[in-house]
Chain A
Amino acid sequence: MVISEQDLKNLAQLAGLALAPGQATAARAALNEALSLAQAVQEGVDPAIVPMVQPLAGQLRLREDVARAPASPAERDALMANAPATAQGLFLVPTVLE
């Protein structure tokens, strides 16, 4: 198995996922299966070929530097309406310690 329990733990941490034990076990099995399928792609592809990120890449278009007017507090509150916790126009999270 390519992915050990510790590997899975590390990946979950990188991915911001606090997995329950059942989730982790199932995920580890799925991940190992996926990586064994991935071998089909890993083998036999000429490394000289340039990887393709976008099939039809244009160029990055540039927008003129014009700012929209700031939101009123009411408009701001409307944009924040989906936030789980707010106060005084701020998003609340458990205290972040530096």
Chain B
Amino acid sequence: MSQPPLHSTFDSIAALAGAVGRGDVDPTVLADDAMRHAQAGNGPGLFADLDAEAGNRETSDAALAGVPIGIEDRLVTRRWRSTGGSRMLAAYQSPFDATAVQDLEQAGCLTVGKLACAEFSMDSASEFALFEATPNPWDAQRQGGSGAAAAVARRLVMGAVGVDTGGSLRAGAALCGVSALRPGQGMVSRLGVIAAASSMDQVTPVARGAGDLAALLDPICHFDPQDATSLEHLNGEANRIGRVRESWQTHRMAQQAQGSRPLKNLRIGILEGDGDGLSAAVADSMEAALQTLESLGAQRVAIALSADGQAATAYHLIAAAEAASNLSRYDGVHFGFRAGRYDDVHDMIGRSRAQGFGQAIIERILLGTRVMSHGHYEALCLPAQRVRRLLAQSLRQALSQSCDLVLRPALPDTAPLLDAQTSLAVRWARDRYLAAASLTGLPALCFPGAPDPDGLPIGMQLIGPDLAEGWLLAVAECFQDVTQWHQREPEQH
């Protein structure tokens, strides 16, 4: 296809939705065009399921009417298979839609299809279990990390929603040069999320820029009584549709009121230890981003956190335990993959699980089983949960007293090669900046900074206090007002 998709000719979701609302563009035409481009542009590790006839074709005057999006396969949908990236669920058809999916459809979005992911978003980015590993849109020999992030980067959809457990979507956004906002815990319903780690799974939108993220996040950010961990209020504020949008707009207006120094008085916390082990390119990009923010009026503040050095390890232990528990239900009895041969029921369960799960998940389950097991729980799980408390207290305290937002890299380096063989230690260590938001339940926004000399994207990560989604969006948007990194497009193949 020589022409770019029709939707990509709009600068933003808001612009497209406005055009649809005014009648300047026919959403059916948009939809057909989006479908054709998605099918033509589909490749390994991108769409898991695409169905040209499916999709919400109702023309409506809803706020996001006609906006083409993708839904990561970790969210269940009635109209497409929902695999969670696992052979276990390769043919699974959900009888209900995730709440977030319903919200976006009600908002008028057109779902183009389901997007590929690692198995329960937890296996290696170099080798997915069910799908082919997503190649990086900027360099097909390198990891893209997430089908959702890659599809947005390739302009196959305007936005996507997926599930960030330990940072998979934030990492994907950083690798692919797009933006992702992991909301605070309890803000978006987990009903319909194929659970990996219940206390850390967060529905996360991915899009090209902060404005688009706001458009996708606001409709899904609300209390859901069907999720017992969904918050009705937090610190006196109601968790309702409109909260994020209003907060974002308020912060934007405050920025505008400050003229040429919109981020005046914004204290950006920097962790001294974050510099260790960063590649030179990432360090340079971080510094450039900081200087840009400072030029907008912000000031950097050095902060220190308790237990941050143990965060990645604590994350992996807790995530393994919770995942081992949540994945117990996959046994070939009521749904999902069942082995072809077996002797008795326990043999059937054992073989179905051993064959249906990929090796990385099997190892994760075994680790989690060990962490939870009698005699080891005190020695493995509880210390990790203590690290969690220390970090949660310390980060919230820093954000309330020492700084307003914290800026960290998303990843220590740019996209590794797809076939890179790395040790467990290296893989765990790559999560060291991402683990804090997962463990503490604070909102975190990843956005592109200056790429490396070869043009490979580099992502920055802003972490805010509770309820700061709108604030994060405003600050990122302010950055994006004066930079163009978020507008870069990979060359079309």
Q: Do chains A and B touch in the complex (CB under 8 A)?
A: yes
Interface residues of A in 29-48 (CB under 8 A from B): 30-31, 33-35, 37-38, 40-42, 45-47
Complex Cα distance A50/B231, Å? 22
Contact stretch, chosen from B150-158, B344-352, B479-487: B344-352
**Measured CA separation A10–B23 after assembly (Å):** 65
Tell me the count of chain B residues lying within 8 A, CB to CB, of chain A: 75
Q: Which of B41-49, B169-177, B324-332 contacts A (4 or more CB under 8 A)?
A: B324-332
**Least CB distance, A71 to chain B, in whole angstroms:** 11
Contact (Cβ within 8 A) A60 B228? yes
Complex-state Cα separation, A77 to B2, whole angstroms:
47
User: Are B389 and A12 neighbours in the complex by a CB distance under 8 Å?
Assistant: no
Stretch from B109-117, B135-143, B308-316 at the A interface: B308-316
Does B295 sit within 8 A of A, measured CB to CB? Answer: no
Asked if A96 CB lies within 8 Å of chain B CBs, one says: yes
Q: Is B362 an interface residue (CB 8 A)?
A: yes
User: Which residue of A33, A56, A83, A96 contacts B184 across the interface (Cβ within 8 Å)?
Assistant: A56
| Contacts A31-B366, A82-B93 given; does A18 touch B307 at CB 8 Å | no
Closest to A14 in B: B369
Known A-B contacts A19-B354, A27-B359; A91 and B307 likewise in contact (beta carbons under 8 Å): no
Q: Which of A11, A19, A38 has the most CB of B within 10 A?
A: A38
Chain A residues positioned under 8 Å from B347 (CB to CB): 18, 94
Chain A residues, Cβ within 8 Å of B390: 45, 49
Q: Does B60 contact A (CB under 8 A)?
A: no
A residues less than 8 Å from B320 (CB atoms)? 34
Interface residues of B in 251-303 (CB under 8 A from A): none
Q: Among B225, B424, B439, point to the contact of A33 (Cβ < 8 A).
A: B424
Asked if B441 contacts A18 (CB within 8 A), the reply is no
Chain A, Cβ-Cβ closest to B184:
A56
Contact assessment for A16 and B328 in the assembled complex, using a CB-CB cutoff below 8 Å = yes
- Stretch from B25-33, B378-386, B410-418, B454-462 that touches the partner: B378-386
Main secondary structure of the interface of B (DSSP, over half): helix
Given known A26-B359, A52-B389, A82-B92, contact A16–B350 (CB-CB < 8 A): yes
Interface pair A45/B331, CB less than 8 Å apart: no
User: Across the A-B interface, how many residue pairs have beta carbons closer than 8 Å?
Assistant: 176
Q: Enumerate chain B residues within 8 angstroms of A63, measured Cβ to Cβ.
A: 225
The answer for the CA separation of A63 and B291 in the assembled complex, in Å, is 51
Residue numbers in B under 8 Å from A37 (CB-CB): 313, 316, 424-425, 428
Minimum Cβ distance to chain A for residue B483 (Å):
32
CB–CB B383/A41 < 8 A: yes
Answer whether residue B342 sits at the interface, using C-beta atoms and an 8 A cutoff.
yes
Q: Are A79 and B95 in contact (CB under 8 A)?
A: yes
Interface assignment of B57: CB less than 8 Å from any CB of chain A = no
**Cβ-neighbour of A47 out of B316, B365, B381, B386 (below 8 A):** B386
A19 CB to nearest B CB, Å? 5
A70: Cβ under 8 A from any B Cβ:
no
| Bound CA span A97–B392, Å | 48
Q: How far is the CA of A23 from the CA of B185 in the complex (A)?
A: 35
Cβ of A17 under 8 Å from chain B? yes
Minimum CB distance partner of B348 in chain A: A94
B493 within 8 A of A: no
Q: Which chain B positions have C-beta within 8 A of A61?
A: 225, 228, 232
Partner of A16, one of B92, B349, B382: B349
A residues less than 8 Å from B351 (CB atoms): 18
Of A3, A50, A84, which contacts B389 at CB under 8 A? A50
Q: Does the CB pair B333–A15 fall under 8 Å?
A: no
Q: Which residues of A contact B373 (CB under 8 A)?
A: 11, 14
Contact with A along B194-231 (1 / 0, CB 8 A): 00000100000000000000000000000001001101
List residues of chain A with CB within 8 A of the CB of B423.
33
Does A66 touch B at the CB level, under 8 Å?
no
Query: What residues of B have a CB within 8 angstroms of the CB of A74 in the complex?
Result: none
| Residues in A neighbouring B424, C-beta threshold 8 A | 30, 33-34, 37
Q: How far is the CA of A41 from the CA of B309 in the complex (A)?
A: 9
Cα distance A15–B330 in the bound complex, in angstroms = 11
* B interface residues with partner A (beta carbon < 8 Å): 91-93, 95, 184-186, 199, 225, 228-229, 231-232, 234, 307, 309-310, 313-314, 316-317, 320, 324, 328, 331-336, 338, 342-351, 353-354, 357, 359, 362-363, 365-367, 369-370, 373, 379-390, 392, 423-425, 428, 439-442, 466
Jot down 30 A-B pairs with beta carbons below 8 A, ordered by A. A3-B370, A14-B373, A15-B369, A16-B349, A27-B362, A27-B363, A30-B363, A31-B366, A33-B424, A35-B370, A38-B384, A41-B313, A41-B380, A42-B379, A45-B390, A46-B386, A53-B385, A54-B185, A54-B441, A55-B440, A56-B231, A56-B234, A58-B229, A61-B225, A61-B232, A82-B92, A84-B333, A91-B334, A93-B345, A95-B344
The 8 closest A-B pairs by CB, nearest first: A18-B350, A51-B385, A55-B441, A82-B335, A52-B389, A84-B338, A30-B363, A49-B386
Which residues of A line the B interface, CB within 8 A? 3, 8, 11-12, 14-20, 23, 26-27, 30-31, 33-35, 37-38, 40-42, 45-47, 49-56, 58, 60-61, 63, 78-85, 91, 93-97
